[in-house]
Each structure stands twice: as C-alpha cells, then as structure tokens.
Amino acid sequence: MNPRRTETARPGSDVVILGAGPAGLVLANLLHQSGIDCVVLERASREHVETRARAGYLAPETVRILERHGLADGLRARGREHDVCEFRTPEGRFRLRYGGLGRGEPHTVYPQQSLVSDLIAEFTAAGGRIAFETEARSVTGVDGDRPTVLTHDLDGRPTQWPASYVAGCDGRHGAARRAIPAADARRRHSDHGVSWLAVLVAAPASMDAVGYAVHREGFAGHMSRGPETTRYYLQCDRGTATDSWSEDRIWSALAHRLRADEYGPLREGPVLERGIVHLESDVLRPLRHGSLFLVGDAASLVSPSAAKGANLAVLEAEILAQALAAAVLRGDPRPLLRYSDRCLSHIWRAQEFSHWMIRLLHAPTAPQESSGFHDSLRYARLESLRTSRSHQDWFAENYVGL
C-alpha cells in the first residue's frame, strides 16, 4: 500500500497561468514586464513543448504585438514573409497574391515551436518561473478572492498554487474550462463533418504558395513550415485511423489531388508526424468566471482551415495582460469586465471566415446538401474569387486579419 502523499502549498502569485503555449507564454512575458508576479504551469516537458509542430503562419497583428513587447527577435531573424496562395480546381488553377490586396499585408511564416522556444527563453532569462511536467487537475475558489490550482507532478505529488487570478491557457479539455459551472456558460459548437489526415514531412515546399486543392476525391492542402519541412493535409473519411495510410498512399493521394502531373512534381520526404484533425468550432461565453479567465483554445476552438487559432491566442493574451495590469497595478477592474466581450468580437469574426473557407474547400457533408446544387455554389464562389477584385480584397483582409 502506497503511503499517502503530502500535499504542499506554494507561495501565492498574482496570476497562475495554465499552459505554456503561445497564449500562456505571451501573457507571462507581458505580465512579467509589467512587474506582475506570475507562474506558468505546463503538464508536458520543456523538450516536448519546444519541438511539437503546430501552426506556422503569423498574422500581421500578431507580429505587431510581439514587436511591441520586444518578443519578435527570433521571427524577424528567421521568419519569412509570405503573401500568395494558389487554388487548384478541375477547371484549372489560379493564384492570389493577397499581400497586394485588401490592406496589403502578408503573413510571416515562423514555426510555432520556434516561437514557443523564443518566448520560454525570454521569460526564463528575465527570471520568470515555469513548472514543466506539472499537470493542473482542478481550479477551485474562482468565485472568491483567492483561487487555487491543484497540480500533480510526474510522481503524483499534489501541490496547491494560490493566486489572485488564474489564466486558463490549457485548451478546451483543460482544468480551467472544467472549473466553469455548466450553468454559468453558454457553449456554441459545430462539427463541420470534415476530417483531415495531417502530415508533416521532411521535405522543402513543393510550391511557393499555400496550396488549396479542390478535388472530387477530397481536399488537399500544402503549407510550408520552414526550409526543410512542409505540412500537408488530405481530407479523409470520419473514423480513419492515423496509421491506416502508408507513406506511399499519402504521396500518391497528394500528387493526384494536387494535380502534380499538370503543375509539377511534389518534393517527397519521410513523414515525421501524422494525425487526424476533425474540423470543429467551439466557443464558450463568457470567457470569465470570477477570477478565472480563458485564453486561446480554452476560450475557443477555430478549425485550422484559415490559420486563426494561434493568432487569436496571442491577441487575447495581450488584451488580458493589459486588463490584469490595470486591475493589479492601478486597482481598475473595468478592463477585466470588458475582456470577454472584446475577445469574443474577434473570435466570431475568425469563426465566420473559417466557416466560409470550409464551405469553399470541401464538398457538402450534410445529406440534405449532397445534391449538385451546393457543389455548383462552391465552384461559383471560386470563380468569383478568381475574377472579382472586390471579392479578392475581402478575402485578403479576412485571410490575414484578426
């Protein structure tokens, strides 16, 4: 019989942050710069969070936020501006140089793991505290003045982390979301009925654009992640097992759907990672319960069809950092009262464009929409995007905007 583990308590902090992704780390850096005591709790190891491949397209406003707070040295040194996407359809292909449309702004391609590594290095070099391999199990007391996070380390040792505020940046299945009573939150959820096989390959990009292929056998996507790695997506049946596609099958399907025989061969390489992505949207309202605030994926899940998730997370982190600074340093709670509404206005605009992209790139999945009528609407949208300057300007503004 194992002896009962003794629960320990850490000294209190102004803010306990759950999760060391872009949201939590930007928030931690900004709070630390303001002189607000905070600690980051992350269930994974430092090596894991610094190497897990995620999004890589930073919106112009994300870059401005990072530059504004002195957090952009890495992306300015190693990031690449990108401003063109290519659509491939049965009728042919067309390219949009969106950096010259709308507001005339490009993306910056910088792998998320590189950004996370930069933010960790900046925070720890300045004396910030991150507890890796420390899983938040529960958040209690959020209706009072002293919420507490209970964590377990790898050996199962429980520890209490009291704070004045808790920032939940630990995803939609994390302890922060679970701490909000269901009766006090309204959830808006949509399963778009589409699944992707996502693969990361050790090969340079095969085109100088983000590639979107509309094909009768399903969508295929191409996104550069750096000089030697590329992310590909293949629409697949719901219920597909991650390992049911061999590398040969993956490359064959990619070449077929991206029409490599017409537009040039793909640069192949070994598959480094693979996983199944179900395109879902999920939003909680409000994003605050007492002294607990939700940020990033804990606040909302946006389908990856428009690369909004990490960018929203950075924007929300800055909004919350400014509001917490007003409350902690100046005793002004008003920005915290506005936090949820401010973030939700950005979230729903991103959700709307993401939903539009899903309908543009995929055949209808609902039985009542399975006729050729909705397919014809989709091709009419693509034709309008190819030929209408006003449509192109709208696309560019929403594609890179927040």
Residues involved in catalysis: 82, 212, 304, 308, 399
Nearest to 146 by CA among 28, 17, 290, 38: 290
Using only C-alpha atoms, what is the Rg of the chain? 22
81 strand-pairing partners: 108
Distance CA 213, CA 22 (A): 29
| Angle (deg, nearest 10), helices 22-33 and 112-125 | 30
Sheet holding 80-82, edge to edge: 57-58, 107-109, 80-82
Count of CB atoms within 10 A of residue 166's CB?
30
Sign of CA dihedral 269, 59, 46, 132: negative
Distance CA 161, CA 144 (A): 15
| Helix/strand number for the chain, H first, E second | 12, 20
**Residue labelled with tokens 């659509």:** 87
